[in-house]
A and B are shown apart, each in its own frame.
Chain A
Amino acid sequence: MLTDWTLWLEWFIKSVIVTLALLTGFAYLTWYERRALARIQVRVGPNRAGPFGLLQPIADAVKLIFKEELTPGKADRIIFFWAPVITLVPSIIIAAVIPWGDKFTAWGRTITLYVADINVGVLYLMSIASIAVYGIVLAGWSSNNKYAMLGGLRSSAQMISYELALGLSFVTSIILANSMRLLDIVEVQKQLWFVVVQPVGAVIFWIATLAEVNRAPFDMPEAEQELTAGYHSEYSGMKFALFFMAEYQKMIVICAIAATLYFGGFLGPFVDRFPLLGPVYLLIKVVVLLFGMIWVRATWPRIRYDRLMSFGWKVMLPLSLAITLITATGILLYEMYDNILYYWAIPVVSILIGLLTVVFIYRELRRKAYERA
């Protein structure tokens, strides 16, 4: 009986920690992104509020809380109110299954460094990640605004297109780990990170991820030039802040997932002896991956919508199917003949297929250029 309520307490404390970590993570991600973007654009970025501008997120939050909240006259009030919540909640609860460490002993009991350890963790991730799009679509629809509507529709179409490639790159790491449990996936990577075994899979995952969280160069739903602000055109004040929060929390979470699936999760030197180093390693990996996202945003222009679609269906999906097939075949042959050579054939053949894809894209672009001329 006693263990029962302490278990509940442990879960509760861990959930609160994860939620708070995500909320402050969101605040400081905005700061991080603004500073990094500014440096890339040879500027300084926010540096006034507090040392290095570290209090800037707090100032932003205060501003957003005190802003007026408008609801358009002909909006669907109930859905308009709930859409930001529907967007925000999945972006927080998705973090529940991500392991940010193994376990350690304190106060006479072992405490695990993850909220939930479910054996189909990857499926949980997939399902929750796609729920968030409902909030965006409903926001676009309930605003009673053409731009918002188009933004919402674009978002859902984009999600559906890239969900497949994302799912298949999840599958590659499931095959490599032979488990859907995220903790197992991390444990298997003790010998070798999956990014080495399946580099093309990691690249596909990365591209699909950018599309899933609506980041540049796939930030179609909020293309300012075309849609003013996309699905959140009509939102202001704290409701807008919730969308903003959801977007940035999704960025953090998806980087944590990428780190878990392909970059060894919480693993790092000495993590066996000091399990509390796990969260630190995960944080470092997440920060590096987030920099990648910011870097891409600072570099590449937004891709046109029809090209986004054809890239998703004609390049990403076949390529990820091929990668899945190669990985599965390699693992199968390796287990049948017990020859490590088959295992190492996976990255080699994958890279060859990736190069072949690039060649096909190049020929297609050439052909189109000829037709235009």
Chain B
Amino acid sequence: MSVLDPVVELVRGLGTTLKMMFERPVTIQYPEQKREVRQRFRGRHVLKRYENGLEKCIGCSLCAAACPADAIFVEASENTDENRFSPGERYASTYEINMLRCIFCGYCEDACPTEAIVLGDNYELSFYDRRSAIYTKEMLLEPVPAQDMTTPQKVEANKFTRSVPEMKDPTD
């Protein structure tokens, strides 16, 4: 039978492709259906808030210092108890990430002392011009947990003195 091999192999190839025709397509119809991203996927950045609505970011610029692509720009301002954005002395009054420069390495996440910046699971970053590639603080900030928790908040004096939260588990 091995003499007929040249023909048999060709026909077997045809059989394989025909068999594949009756398999379910693996296509995901993208804009309607989206594939779940992996747990450790590094997508667009999110600026987190505490449960009481205060921003975690304290404007320390460590993320900007850690950024290898120089994509992050932070400008800090002073907090007061009348006008409080975040715990501690200062908050980020300007926070901008240039998404054209960002390489999604996650070093900003590692550098952040308050775990304020987190690379989320949004990968739909597209824009029509370079100016709109700069994501501002309003775009990055997580929505408030409840209606009355928008920043700045008016808080009682000397309650939020510590800018970096106490670690519950120091080995973390």
Contact = CB atoms under 8 A, between A and B. Distances in A.
Interface of A: 36, 38-44, 295-296, 298-300, 355, 358-359, 361-362, 365
B125 interface: no
Contacts of B2: 362
Nearest to A47: B29
A202 to B, nearest CB: 15
Interface in B1-17: 2-7, 10, 13-14, 16-17
Contacts of A39: 20-21, 25
B26 interface: yes
Contacts, number: 45
Given A361-B6, A362-B5, A299 B16 contact: yes
Contact of B13 (A299, A358, A359, A362): A299
B7 A358 contact: yes
A263 to B, nearest CB: 19
B114 to A, nearest CB: 45
Contacts of A359: 3
A365 B25 contact: no
Contact of B26 (A43, A295, A300, A365): A43
A38 B26 CA distance: 11
A298 B17 contact: yes
Contact of B20 (A42, A296, A358): A42
Interface of B: 2-7, 10, 13-14, 16-18, 20-21, 23-27, 29
B4 A44 contact: no
Contacts of A300: 10, 13
A358 B4 CA distance: 7
Contact of B6 (A40, A295, A298, A362): A362
List the 4 closest pairs (A to B, CB-CB), nearest first: A44-B27, A299-B17, A44-B25, A299-B13
Contact of A40 (B3, B20, B27): B20
Contacts of A298: 17
Given A38-B25, A361-B6, 17 more contacts: A36-B21, A39-B20, A40-B18, A40-B21, A42-B26, A44-B25, A44-B27, A44-B29, A295-B14, A295-B17, A299-B14, A300-B13, A358-B3, A358-B7, A362-B2, A362-B6, A365-B6
A358 B17 contact: no
Nearest to B19: A40
A358 B21 contact: no
A43 B30 CA distance: 13
A296 B7 CA distance: 14
Contacts of B4: 355, 358, 362
A153 B52 CA distance: 76
Residue among B13, B17, B21 with the highest chain A CB neighbour number at 10 A: B17
Nearest to B16: A299
A295 B18 contact: yes
A362 B3 contact: yes
A42 B6 CA distance: 27
